[in-house]
Amino acid sequence: MLHITDLRPTTFDPATVMPRAKLEISDASAVVEPIIDQVKARGAEAVLDFTEQFDGVRPDNLRVPEHAMTQALEKLEADVRDALEESIARARAVHAAQLPPDTVVPLADGATVENHWVPIQRVGLYVPGGRAVYPSSVIMNVVPAQAAGVPGIAITSPPQADFNGLPHPTILAACKLLGVEEVYATGGAQAIAMLALGVSDASGATVCEPVDLITGPGNVYVAAAKQAFFGKVGIDAVAGPSEILVLADETANPAWVAADLISQSEHDPLAASVLVTTSMDFAEAVVAQIEQQVPGAVLEDQIREALTGQQSGALVVSTLEEAIDVTNAIATEHLEIQTKDNEAVLEQITHAGAVFLGPYAPVPLGDYSAGSNHVLPTSGTARFSSGLNTVSFLRLQQRIRYDKAGLEPLAPGIQRLAQSEGLHAHAEAIRYRFE
């Protein structure tokens, strides 16, 4: 079901060899625009109406009551709690190490510039909950925000009909474990509009204050709504469906590689699972393993759709260099390297959201417990952007301290530069100080 493309006898363009799924953000934008307009006009009532329409349940309140979160944690199975706590501890260690230090750069007598990092004051974190629910995404959003020192954190996630219109209890329990109290039961574009605009109820009482930054993955409606609000608020990314690329040679285990490719395909029918290899025998062995492992899988239909889509496939190339070129051109969200010399291959990888090295670092390790972040750049954006991290929740504020002795030697040069730009008032502002 994963098609094999033999590129060995051909010359090919690494940039076009593996098309991505067509993510119809513009179609979704047409759906999302009226949702945003309604939320603007009618606030919380509109958010609740759309939630009822798209999620099939109308929560009693958009804001999840404190007792529901306490209860969710009390009822959480002990082994799930242990796993969440381990995952939080590792993520906290990794994200704390990303906190950049402030620096003061002395440039001359009476002249310093300080690089000062300021936490964003209020952030809205989206946790998906449509096809699957993602308590792990609570951790991946909250931990870097907390590491950055963000004082205001609001989380939103779709309500579940099976749980009285509350987000999934494990999501609520994860919020409680992390110490997040402000949680909303809504998903999709209406949730993003609520976060960006803030909403009040029919009596005019505030239900949710607007945020400064919205982060987190989601489906095409979430992505289109984030894109629509970019500029009014910051966003981390316009995320696409999950992606995995395994770069492997004949030394890898085909059953394990097949399992890893299947794992990411269960996220979304548009998810991309790609194998790049120098061995046709290995590619065939992986495909045979996929044929064996997929039947009976819990999300079999979705997995089949993703693996047979144009965005998924096995590419057989002639040399390791070609394999690396194709991999860099695809710029996948997750890259697994399983070859004779993984570190040597890694040296040549320029584009990938996160890299998983060797047979014991499969992508699900990073999805849940490695300590790394699983909100990563998709759709080729790994060429220019990073996964969610502590710096995503910080702004750099430069603090410029010059006294008279610091400014004086620069004054003539600044005036000349200002004049050369035709900006004489700029020159005057300097001249006044030395008259």
Ligand X SMILES: NC(=O)c1ccc[n+]([C@@H]2O[C@H](COP(=O)([O-])OP(=O)(O)OC[C@H]3O[C@@H](n4cnc5c(N)ncnc54)[C@H](O)[C@@H]3O)[C@@H](O)[C@H]2O)c1
Ligand Y SMILES: N[C@H](CO)Cc1c[nH]c[nH+]1
Is 25 an interacting residue with respect to ligand X (CB under 6 A)? no
Name residue, tokens 């010059």.
Answer: 402
Q: Does 374 bind ligand Y (CB under 6 A)?
A: yes
Q: Which residues are annotated as a binding site for NAD(+)?
A: 126, 190, 219
> What's the CA gap between 183 and 172, in Å, rounded?
8
Check binding of 136 to ligand Y (CB under 6 A). Answer: yes
Binding segment for ligand Y (CB under 6 A), chosen from 132-140, 180-188, 230-238, 254-262, is 132-140
Give the nearest distance from C-beta 267 to ligand Y in angstroms.
6
As a whole number of angstroms, the distance between CA 261 and CA 269 comes to: 13
Work out the angle at residue 109's Cα, subtended by the Cα atoms of residues 103 and 114, and round it to the nearest 5 degrees: 20
Beta bridge partners of 185: 157
Q: Which one, 243 or 367, has the nearer CB to Zn ion?
A: 367
116 is catalytic: no
**Burial of residue 148, with CB atoms counted within 10 A of its CB: 0-12 exposed, 13-18 middle, 19 or more buried:** buried
Q: Of 333, 343, 347, 435, which residue is the catalytic one?
A: 333
Question: Is 367 near Zn ion (CB under 5 A)?
Answer: yes
Which among Zn ion, ligand Y, ligand X, none contacts residue 221 (Cβ within 5 to 8 A by kind)? ligand X
Contact 317, 8 (CB under 8 A): yes
Q: Decide: 259 and 266 in contact? Cβ < 8 Å.
A: no
Largest CA distance in the chain: 85
- Pairing between strand 243-248 and 272-277? parallel
Among the listed residues 334, 363, 294, the one whose alpha carbon sits nearest the alpha carbon of residue 136: 363
Among 91, 138, 239, 326, binds ligand X (CB under 6 A): 239
Of the candidates 82, 318, 364, 47, the residue with the CA atom closest to the CA atom of residue 186 = 47
**Among residues 82 and 428, whose Cβ is nearest to ligand Y?**
82
265 touches, from ligand Y, ligand X, Zn ion, none (C-beta below 5 to 8 Å by class): none
| Angle, vertex CA 54, rays to CA 48 and CA 60, nearest 5 | 30
Annotated binding site for substrate: 242, 264, 267, 334, 367, 421, 426
Q: Which of residues 44-63 bind ligand X (CB under 6 A)?
A: 54-55
Site pattern 319..338 for ligand Y (x: CB under 6 A): --------------x-----
SS3 52: helix
Of 334, 351, 408, 435, the catalytic one is 334
What is the DSSP annotation of 272-292? EEEEEES-HHHHHHHHHHHHH
Residue closer to Zn ion (CB basis): 186 or 219: 219
Q: For residue 108, give the H/E element and its range.
A: strand 103-108
Q: What is the CA radius of gyration of the chain?
A: 25
DSSP state of 392: G
- Region near ligand X per CB under 6 A, out of 169-177, 187-195, 401-409, 422-430: 187-195
Number of residues engaging ligand Y in binding (CB under 6 A): 9
Active-site residue 333, yes or no?
Answer: yes
What would the x/- binding string for ligand Y be over residues 247 to 266, using CB under 6 A?
Answer: -----------------x--
- The one among 117, 184, 221, 282 contacting ligand X by CB under 6 A: 221
Burial of 316 from C-beta contacts in 10 A (0-12 / 13-18 / 19+) = buried
Taking CB under 6 A as the binding criterion, the range among 128-136, 284-292, 294-302, 403-411 that sits at the site for ligand X is: 128-136
Instruction: Show contacts with ligand X in window 359-398 (CB under 6 A).
Output: 374-376
- Using alpha carbons only, give the angle 392, 233, 64 rounded to the nearest 5 degrees: 85
Among 212, 260, 266, 268, binds ligand X (CB under 6 A): 268
Which pair of tokens denotes residue 261?
């490719």
Nearest residue (CB) to ligand Y, 31 versus 259:
259
Joined tokens for residue 382: 């790994």
Query: Toward ligand Y, which CB reaches closer, 168 or 267?
Result: 267
Smallest gap from residue 10 Cβ to ligand Y (A): 31
For binding to Zn ion (CB under 5 A), which residues are involved? 367
Q: Which residues are catalytic?
A: 333-334
For binding to ligand X (CB under 6 A), which residues are involved? 31, 54-55, 128-132, 134, 137, 158, 187-189, 217-219, 221-222, 239, 241-242, 267-268, 271, 374-376
